[in-house]
Structure 1
């Protein structure tokens, strides 16, 4: 099944920003690279930092070293009421149970067949892990990519009814595109599955697959009818969360970021690793404090908890981005 981009699926503004398309020279967007950001501390910090590292002087950074890393869930797109990859696993699990009736009578499939995503609340953590493993394995990497792309083309968020690819943050699309115009290389470094994120990262964010770092499963080489394939196995290879993030950044990029953007305790070590390098550095955290336009949560949340990283931000002078105050709009136009 092919995956075709269209105006309705991704939104003209979001797609243009993601692809880094320049606005006409006489438009206000040409003068302001971050039009969806209010003129507050976060926007001023970004503008000042990029100016410092791209202008000849003591803080100048060569383009090759302009590495910017972004978490995905809760940083580039929403993560409530549960991580979107889990909702993908729910839909996949229900499809699998429909094709194999022997699955429908046992957990974790039984609850999902009867209640849909609401059935997650009755599952144990081990059962959710089993569900994710089963729905992400037993197929080639190419087959998984097509399955994920097909899901993104039609699946909608349970609350907003938007396509999941429309649950991205418009201010962050602008930031990614602007950084690339300023000579940065932008990477996604997230706890989500790397193959899952690669199914949408380039058309939505403008981030190519080789610049997506995520959790991964074991993969096996096979010859099928004389054709070599890579088969996804139900076994975790690497978890790209907490200290796994700087480890995988070093392993896959080989350069320390000079800008890192996260939103939760899972991003703490990535921001600490970024700060520890020499020269100019910028560490940022999204604070979900807008219950009207998105969701409000931080220290006590089970999803995207911002507790230890909040304390570190206060102690180290990192930039905390208030959704409520700093962002003029949250999502792109539909």
Structure 2
């Protein structure tokens, strides 16, 4: 059973959210677009909501989860690639320089994934990811990454789905890294996941048709790439968007620019006791422009410290 199926149960909507402006805005928005006699009513086909993943649905400190996965793969394969010792971003990975790795951005992460997982089939890659995510643990909290998802955001996903929304993940992370586990963890199926990708090709190996992963970047689903990815894979402009960093700015900007009632929300990581406190100067999940411009654009800035009663599922 997906975690999201347990997120609300018989509880009131958004029970892990404190009563306040952020919770009220979400509920008011949903009521407005789902009430037929309301001027802001939106038909089912156009009730599209998009969520960033890293930092929005689960943690991204002290590094992106996919980066932890890639670090393990680079270290395992470096004997076959001595050139990585002097080539970025591999050099930073091998020296343990996370700042250097972070400086390469989403493109650097995709390059690392492309280099360490080229030549295999998509099926083989999915198995590697599934095996790793089942065993990997957070370096500080010593818990499985899939248990460090954000309960309040699971409730938002459930609330939207219960009100006829189609929910999609739109992440800078790798699409084939997320697809093996998003349905089980968030209740969001693989076909509703949009992410960065490397090029692939169709091939017949030993009489079996397969999809082969190539060592070339195909698409970066970050910043201005997010609206492009949404348009390419969904084909409709969302009416609600949820993120946590400046990498999500264009996604919220495009979503909230449409006609009718719209919702844009940024999760602000300001709780250093229960999670991590970071924003403007962070190498991962930097939130600077969004803090300044978000309120002026009518976006909701949700404080983890004051708006969330709890962080993780029980």
Per the normalisation by structure 2, the TM-score is 0.91
Tell me the residue number matched to 2:22: 42
Which residues of 2 match residues 151-170 of structure 1 at below 5 A? 151-170=132-151
CA–CA distance in structure 1, aligned partners of residues 35 and 311 of structure 2 = 31
Tell me the residue number matched to 2:273: 292
Q: After TM superposition, give the deviation of residue 157 of structure 1 in Å.
A: 0.7
- Root mean square deviation, CA, Å: 2.2
Q: After TM superposition, give the deviation of residue 119 of structure 1 in Å.
A: 5.3
CA–CA distance in structure 1, aligned partners of residues 33 and 92 of structure 2 = 53
Q: After TM superposition, give the deviation of residue 21 of structure 1 in Å.
A: 7.2
Instruction: Please give the per-residue CA displacement for 1:38-73, whole angstroms capped at 9, x wherever unaligned.
Output: 111111111111111111121111111110000001
Q: After TM superposition, give the deviation of residue 314 of structure 1 in Å.
A: 2.1
| Change over 3 Å in CA distance of 1:278–1:106 after alignment to 2 | closer
Is contact 1:20–1:177 with CA below 8 Å preserved after alignment? no
CA–CA distance in structure 2, aligned partners of residues 257 and 241 of structure 1 = 16
Is contact 1:104–1:110 with CA below 8 Å preserved after alignment? no
Which residues of 2 match residues 244-323 of structure 1 at below 5 A? 244-323=225-304
CA–CA distance in structure 2, aligned partners of residues 138 and 197 of structure 1 = 19
Aligned residues: 307
Per the normalisation by structure 1, the TM-score is 0.86
| Change over 3 Å in CA distance of 1:22–1:310 after alignment to 2 | closer
Residue 183 (str. 1) matches residue 169 (str. 2): no
Tell me the residue number matched to 1:53: 33
CA–CA distance in structure 2, aligned partners of residues 281 and 102 of structure 1 = 51
Q: Unaligned 5+ residue runs, structure 2?
A: none
Which residues of 2 match residues 1-334 of structure 1 at below 5 A? 15-16=2-3, 18-19=4-5, 23=9, 27=10, 29=11, 32-56=12-36, 57-97=38-78, 101-103=79-81, 107=85, 118=96, 120=98, 125=104, 130-333=111-314
Moved more, 254-263 or 87-96: 87-96
- Describe the SS at the equivalent of 1:328: coil
CA–CA distance in structure 2, aligned partners of residues 106 and 267 of structure 1 = 31
Instruction: Please give the per-residue CA displacement for 1:77-113, whole angstroms capped at 9, x wherever unaligned.
Output: 110111111110111223334xxx4447952778867
CA–CA distance in structure 1, aligned partners of residues 47 and 110 of structure 2 = 36
Q: After TM superposition, give the deviation of residue 132 of structure 1 in Å.
A: 2.8
Tell me the residue number matched to 1:10: none
Is contact 2:148–2:312 with CA below 8 Å preserved after alignment? yes
Q: After TM superposition, give the deviation of residue 22 of structure 1 in Å.
A: 6.3
